[in-house]
Amino acid sequence: MLRQVSALLSWCVLMVLMNLALAAESYDEKYAQTDTSDPDSLHALVLWCRENGHHSRANQHIRQIYALDPNHAPTRALQGFVWHEERWVHESRLPPSMRPSQQQDKGIPQPLPPRRSVSGPGPQAQDIDWNLAIPSYPEAEARFRPFVESVIERMKTQDIFTMEGSWTSLIRPQHRNLTVSILAQKLVEGDYTDLWGPSKIIETLYKEGGQDAKAQARRLFPFVLTASAQSRNPDATLAFTYVCGLLQKRDSIPRLIEILDGPDSVVASGARQALSSFMLWPEREIEVQQARDWWARYHDRDQETLISEQLRDPNPWVRLHTVQYVSSDDRWDPRAIPTLIRLMYESDRRVLAETARRLRAIAATDWGLANSANAEARQRIAREVEEWWQEHRRDFVPVHLRGRERSPQQQHDRQLREWIHALGSIDSGEVSAALANLRRRGDDAIPALIDGLGHGDGVVRNRVRDLLREMTGQQFAFEGIRGDNHSRNAAIERWREWAQEAGHVQ
């Protein structure tokens, strides 16, 4: 009898161990399918963990979600919080009649959280240190100095229609380093206030596409921006606003806001267009005060935070414009679809028409969503799209990325980006594997690592910094978590300049 009891206990222990092993394996599989940069994907993992008894892991992933999006409404609701009187409040603290669990209308989403509060104004144009050190040029180019100086002087007296021959000769490879150096000097000294020629030089260099040309454009840009405060030529200032949007240097935003507040409506429209590319707002929604408030909210936030919060912005047009940004060119963010689903509950017909248009652009169908549809029809379509998305989100490819053949270089670059993204994983094994893979790529990984210094995750930024220091021996100051965007961007520029001089980028 004792032997039978002992055997039964052994069998029970074995079954428990086997079930634990199967559960662990299932978690690993589920985690491997999760996009840890997407709060919605992590939320699905949290729900699975809770259903399968992984409560400590569920709490760990909830912390991850709040690091990405402190106002992630589904996770807040899961923990019993509701948005009430401008803050998150636990449902138990509300009167019974106000608790969502007691409300009958389950078809309407809970209110969106508000925009990030403004704690104070962002830095003004005069507060930003552009480190205006005059760029050097190779000694071999010195023999061209008389020619370059004469062309630069001639540009000041030419109209915009005859100037093209001048600035195109200045950006030839044998002249461009010298051109940037001389123009920078003249702009700093206040001897050169016309911005049309320098702005067109920046535009052409940047659009040329080579790393060297883009680096020269970035070097000249701060000098043109500083001189723009003295410009009285509307056409030249308009050309300057265009290159602000082209180069996407966030520190140019305060100057653009100043131009937006200026008397010339045409020049202000150029500033508005450039600001739209930074803010991810439609141009018609941008006025001076809105731009100032936005800058106060986001001047010290990274792009991932901006996108995450604006996909939940109270203004439906901001959400739509952000969806357009994350689903165009080579970009794709799966959060676009849940955002469009929520927009189906809006009553504004123009919003509904644009929502349907964005659905067609992304998925090639709008599920019959019409701007004249009543609330019941819109809710039915929203449920259909939600069911479709839950089924296809893992393997969905948006229309603009379908059928694209990736070159070996594109595949190489994508693999590097995936390894860099994996540096933010909570799985230490995944982090170690990513570090090993990046080390094996050696110098080929350096340009991608420098880009990784701008990653949305501070942990990733710090690990990229440490790996760059290890691989290159360079010790540029860089704070991935505690630092502000301006100092980080300045450090990234120093890394890029070093990489170009060391021959890591062409």
Is residue 20 pLDDT above 70, yes or no?
A: no
pLDDT at res. 24: 47
| Choice between 240 and 501, residue whose per-residue pLDDT is larger | 240
Looking at the fold, whether 317 and 378 belong to one and the same domain comes out as yes
What's the token pair of residue 471?
A: 């691989």
Q: Are residues 490 and 441 in the same domain?
A: yes
Q: Comparing 21-25, 115-119, 135-139, 393-397, which segment has the lowest mean pLDDT?
A: 21-25
The predicted model gives 297-308 an average pLDDT of 83
Is the domain of 355 the same as that of 306? yes
Structural domain contains residue 311: yes
**Alpha carbons 308 and 325: distance in angstroms, whole number:** 12
Q: What percent of the chain has pLDDT over 70?
A: 84
At residue 104 the predicted structure's pLDDT band, cuts being 50, 70 and 90, is very low
pLDDT score at 366: 93
Mean pLDDT value across residues 481-502: 80
Determine the average pLDDT of the residues in 247-257: 93
* pLDDT-based confidence at residue 117 (cuts at 50, 70, 90): low
- pLDDT at site 29: 79
Please give the pLDDT value at position 309. 87
Question: Considering the domain boundaries, does residue 438 fall inside one?
Answer: yes
Domain residues for 60?
A: 27-83
Q: Is 415 exposed, middle or buried (0-12, 13-18, 19+ CB in 10 A)?
A: middle
Tokens of 350: 């123009």
Inform me whether the pLDDT recorded for 414 exceeds 50: yes
Whether residues 390 and 424 fall in one domain: no
Distances in Å between the Cα of 307 and the Cα atoms of 168, 301, 411, 457 are: 38, 10, 25, 13
- pLDDT given at position 119: 55
d(CA 241, CA 228): 10
Indicate the pLDDT class of residue 25, thresholds 50, 70 and 90: low
Q: Can you spell out the DSSP letters for 406-475?
A: PPHHHHHHHHHHHHHHHTT-S-HHHHHHHHHHHHHHGGGGHHHHHHHTT-S-HHHHHHHHHHHHHHH---
Q: Does residue 252 form part of some domain?
A: no
Looking only at the bridges linking them, the beta strands covering 81-84 and 87-90 are antiparallel
Nearest CA among 428, 470, 426 for reference residue 445: 470
Token pair in block for residue 305: 């935070």
Q: Are residues 488 and 436 in the same domain?
A: yes
- Nearest one of 415, 410, 424 to 462, comparing CA atoms: 424
Would you state the pLDDT for residue 165?
62
The alpha carbon of 104 is separated from its chain's Cα centroid by a whole number of angstroms, namely 39
Number of folded domains in the chain? Answer: 3
What confidence category does residue 429 fall into, taking pLDDT thresholds of 50, 70 and 90? confident
Q: Where is average pLDDT lowest: 17-31, 117-131, 146-160, 421-435? A: 17-31
Residue 86 or residue 501, greater confidence: 501
In this prediction, residues 406-426 reach a mean pLDDT of 77
- The last residue of one of the domains, among 348, 379, 394, is 394
What does the radius of gyration of the chain's CA atoms come to, in whole angstroms? Answer: 27
Is the domain of 372 the same as that of 452? no
CA distance 101 to 105: 10
Hey, what are 207's tokens?
A: 């659009």
Looking at residue 85, its pLDDT comes to: 53
Q: For position 149, what pLDDT does the model report? A: 87
CA distance 149 to 98: 73
Residue 263 falls inside a structural domain: no
Residue 83's DSSP bridge partners are 88
Report whether pLDDT(404) > 50.
yes
Say yes or no to pLDDT of 227 above 80. Answer: yes
Domain boundary among the residues 45, 62, 83 is at 83
**Domain annotation covers residue 487:** yes
**pLDDT attached to residue 381:** 93
Structure confidence at residue 426 (pLDDT): 66
CA 305 to CA 68: how far, in whole Å? 7
On whether both 384 and 427 belong to a single domain, the answer is no
What is the C-alpha to C-alpha distance for residues 64 and 135, in angstroms, rounded to an integer? 43
Residues 426 and 380 in one domain: no
d(C-alpha 416, C-alpha 444), whole Å: 9
Per the domain annotation, does 32 fall within a domain? yes
On whether residue 189 sits in a domain, the answer given is no
Q: How far apart are the first and last CA of the chain?
A: 81
Report how far apart, in Å, the C-alpha atoms of 215 and of each of 206, 220, 459, 464 are: 8, 9, 27, 22
Best mean pLDDT range from 24-38, 82-96, 109-123: 24-38
pLDDT above 80: residue 407? no
Mean pLDDT, residues 412-428: 79
Whether 290 is in a domain gets the answer: no
User: Across all residues in the chain, what is the average pLDDT?
Assistant: 82
Question: How much is the pLDDT for 267?
Answer: 94
Identify the band that residue 263 occupies on the pLDDT scale cut at 50, 70 and 90.
very high
Q: Is the pTM of this model over 0.85?
A: no
pLDDT confidence bin for 258, thresholds 50/70/90: very high
pLDDT of residue 106: 44
pLDDT tens digits, one per residue of 43-94: 888 988 888 888 888 888 888 888 777 778 788 878 877 766 556 777 766 6
Q: Rounded CA gap, 475 and 468, in Å?
A: 9
Q: Last residue of some domain: 360, 394, 428?
A: 394
pLDDT value at residue 7: 54
pLDDT one-digit tens code per residue, 303-331: 878 888 899 888 999 999 999 999 988 88
Mean pLDDT across 416-428: 80
H or E element at residue 320: helix 316-326
Contact 65, 47 (CB under 8 A): no
438 and 485 part of one domain: yes
Mean pLDDT of 355-372: 93
Comparing CA positions, the residue from 125, 127, 134, 144 lying closest to residue 220 is 134
Assigned token pair, 208: 């040329």
User: What pLDDT is recorded for position 105?
Assistant: 44
Residue 378 sits in the same domain as residue 428: no
